[in-house]
Chain A
C-alpha cells in the first residue's frame, strides 16, 4: 500500500514538474476508437522535442465525455484548448478561427477545401476552424469467403441494394450464415442508402427529413427486418439513440454484407486477420445514385484558449504533410487531404484484405453525392439522424406502424429544431 501511494505521488510529481518548466500548455481533449491516441502521442512527443516552449497534453477521455460533457464545458466557458469532436457543426459558434494564425492558410484551403465548411458557423464562408483527424465514408464490407463457399459471384459495381439483398440472402441460405445484411444502428448510416434511393433531405435550403426517397429506404429496411434479411439482433438489441455495430457478428463470419464504414478496417485486421476473405466493396445503388455518407472527427480549437499562437503551431505541425501522412499510414485512416489523396498514402499494412478495402474506400469517397456532403455539413443533422433511428426502430420493434413512425420523425425533427432555437 505504501509503495503504491509513494509511486502515485512520484508519478504525480513527474507529471507536474515539467509543466512548471514549460512556458505554455496546450490541452487536447481526445477520444480513441483504436490506436490513434497512441500514434498522436508519439507524433506530439517529437513536436515537443523540437518546440521545448510548448507542452501538449493529450487528455484521452471516454467518447461519452466528448458527446455529453464537452458541450457543457464549452457553453459554460470552460472549454479545453482543443478537442477532437464528431458533432462537427454542433457548437461552431465557439470555435476559434485559425485562418489568421496559421503559417500558410493557402496550404489548408488547398488541401482541406472539401471538409472545412463542416465546422464553419452559420454565415461564415472563409474561416478555418478545424483539422480533420479521421475521414470516414460509410460503405459495405463483404465476407467474400461466404460467397465463394456458396458458389455465388459478388454483385458488380453498379448492383442495386435489392440485387445485393437477393445475393446475400442466397449466400446465407447456402452457407448457413445467420445474417444476410447487417447495418450499424445509426441514422448516419441510413442516410447514404436513403440518398441513393432518392432522399433529398433538403428542399432548396430548407431541411426536410421525410420524403419519398427516405420512405423507400426505410421501407426496405423495415421489410428486411420482417423477412430475415436483416437481423433484429443488431437494431433491436438497444433502444433510444444508442449506437450498435455489427462488427462482432461480422468477425464471427455470421454476416454476408455489413454496411458500416472504413473505420472498421483496422479492427478487422486484428480480430479477423486472415481467417476469411473480407473487404470493402462499392456502395450499392438506388435509382438516385450509389452513395454513402462522408463523416469523421475533427480537431477544433476554442475561442476561450489562452494560447491561440501555440494552438496554431501544434495544428500546423500535425497538418504538415509528412506528419499528417505518418498519422494516417499508422492508423489506417482515410484522409481528406487533397495532396495526400492524389499522391496516395503508403499504409503500413501487409494484409491484402486491408489494402483492397482501403482502395475501395478511396473510390467510394470520391463518388459521394453532393447531397451527402450537404447533409454532413448541416449543423442540425444529428436531430435528423436521431429522429430517424428512434422512430424507425420503434416501427421495426412493432410499437408503431411505419406511417406513424414517419409522422413522428417529422414532428420530432420539428420539435428538435424549435428547441434548438431554429425557426
Chain B
C-alpha cells in the first residue's frame, strides 16, 4: 500500500507545485464531477430536450421541437381533480397512487425503523446478529425481493397455505386493489427499513449516556425523557431518514413493478412505472411525454424536500425541541 501510495503521491505533488495548494480542491473534485457531468448531468440535460420535442425518434437531432405541448398533454384535464376526465388519465392515477403510497410508506418506515432501532440499541445477547437480520433485505436486488414476495403472496403461495391450514379461506392478496396496495407498502418497508434503522441507531448511540443518568437521578418520568432527550437529539438523523425516505418512496419502482406490474387494474401503478412504460415498454416509445413527466416529478420532489428541510429548521428555531 505504501509503495502504491508513493507512486500516486508523485503526480499529485507535481500538480500541486504547478497550480499551487489553493487550487488543489478543484483537482480533488474533478474526477467525481467529470464522471458525474458526463453520465448523470448530461443525460438530465438531454432529458429536457426530449421533454420539449415530439415523435418517436430516438436520436435527439431527429426530433421535432414541440414546445410545451408534452407538458400540456399531461396537464390536460376537462374537469380539475377528476382523473377520468384527463387526457393522460393513467398519469394522474399514478400520481394519486404515489401520493397515497408515499404517505403510508414514509410514516410506516419511520415508525418501524424507530422502534427497531430503539430495541436494537438495548443491551442484549446476540445484538450483532439481530442487527444483521434486520439489515439483510437491504442486500437483496429488487428482482429478488419481488420474486420472494410473489412466492409468499400468490394465491398458491405460502401465506395462503398457512391460512388454509388454519381453516381460513384463501385471500387474493394481489388481486384485490386495497390488499395489493397495502402489500406494496409493506414490502417496500420490509426491503428498505434496515438502512434507515441503522441511521437512527447511529444517532441513538451518539446520545451521551450521562444525559440519561442525570434524568434518572432527577426522577424524570420516562415519557418525558423520550420526548425531551431522545427525540430532540435524534432529530438530525430523523431528518436524514425523512428526506431520503421521501425521495426513495416517490421513486419506488423496481420491486413493485416486477411483483404486480401495477395491477390489479392500476391500483399499484406508481409514477416511475408510468414514465418507464411510456418510454420503454409499449410498442411506441413516447419519449417526450415520459421526459416531461419525469421533470414534473423531479420538480415536485425538490419542492417537497425543501419544505421538509424548512419545516425542520423552523421546528428547531421554534422551540418544539429543547
Contact = CB atoms under 8 A, between A and B. Distances in A.
Query: Is there direct touching of A and B in the complex, by C-beta distance under 8 Å?
Result: yes
Interface of A: 67-68, 71-72, 75-76, 87, 90, 232-233, 236-242, 244, 248, 252, 380, 382-383, 386, 390, 393-394, 396-400, 404, 408, 411, 416, 419-421
B145 interface: no
A236 B265 contact: yes
Which 7 residue pairs across A and B have the least CB separation, nearest first?
A239-B263, A397-B265, A239-B262, A242-B261, A238-B261, A382-B283, A236-B264
Interface in B273-304: 273, 277, 280-286, 289
A159 B89 CA distance: 40
B56 interface: yes
B8 to A, nearest CB: 25
Nearest to B155: A233
Interface of B: 54-59, 84, 87, 89-90, 154-156, 172, 174-175, 177, 260-269, 273, 277, 280-286, 289
Nearest to A71: B285
A404 B265 CA distance: 14
B225 to A, nearest CB: 47
A404 B54 CA distance: 28
Nearest to B279: A68
A240 B261 contact: yes
Given A233-B155, A408-B89, 6 more contacts: A75-B59, A237-B174, A237-B260, A238-B264, A382-B283, A397-B266
A87 B261 contact: no
Given A248-B156, A399-B265, A419-B286, A240 B55 contact: no
A300 B37 CA distance: 38
A87 B286 CA distance: 17
Contacts of B277: 240-241
Given A68-B281, A421-B55, A421-B56, A399 B260 contact: no
Given A232-B175, A237-B260, A239-B265, A386 B59 contact: no
Nearest to B276: A68
Contacts of B87: 411
B109 to A, nearest CB: 24
A68 B280 contact: yes
B267 A241 contact: no
* B-side interface mostly: loop
10 contacts: A90-B283, A233-B172, A238-B263, A240-B263, A380-B283, A380-B284, A383-B284, A398-B265, A404-B84, A421-B56
A87 B283 contact: yes
A76 B177 CA distance: 40
Contacts of A416: 282-284
A306 to B, nearest CB: 21
A241 B154 CA distance: 19
A239 B260 contact: yes
Contacts of B283: 87, 90, 380, 382-383, 386, 416, 420
Given A68-B280, A386-B283, A420-B284, A238 B89 contact: no
B273 A240 contact: yes
Contacts of B154: 237
Most chain B CB inside 10 Å of its own CB: which residue of A76, A240, A382, A419: A240
Contacts of B58: 72, 75-76
A397 B58 CA distance: 35
A239 B89 contact: no
A382 B177 CA distance: 26
B77 to A, nearest CB: 14
A238 B285 CA distance: 21
B57 to A, nearest CB: 7
A240 B280 CA distance: 13
B57 A242 contact: no
B113 to A, nearest CB: 29
Contacts of B172: 232-233, 236
A420 B56 contact: yes
Most chain B CB inside 10 Å of its own CB: which residue of A87, A90, A237, A396: A237
Given A76-B58, A404-B84, A232 B264 contact: yes
Contacts of A382: 282-283
A238 B59 contact: no
Contacts of A248: 156
A85 to B, nearest CB: 12
Contacts of A398: 265
Given A76-B59, A393-B263, A397-B264, A240 B156 contact: no
Contact of B281 (A241, A399, A420): A241
B265 A394 contact: yes
A248 B154 CA distance: 11
B151 to A, nearest CB: 12
A67 B282 CA distance: 9
Contacts of B269: 239-240
A247 to B, nearest CB: 12
A238 B174 CA distance: 8
A398 B155 CA distance: 21
B262 A399 contact: no
Given A232-B172, A242-B261, A416-B284, A394 B266 contact: yes
A233 B263 CA distance: 11
A96 B152 CA distance: 47
A408 B87 CA distance: 9
A412 B56 CA distance: 16
Nearest to A396: B265
Contacts of A411: 87
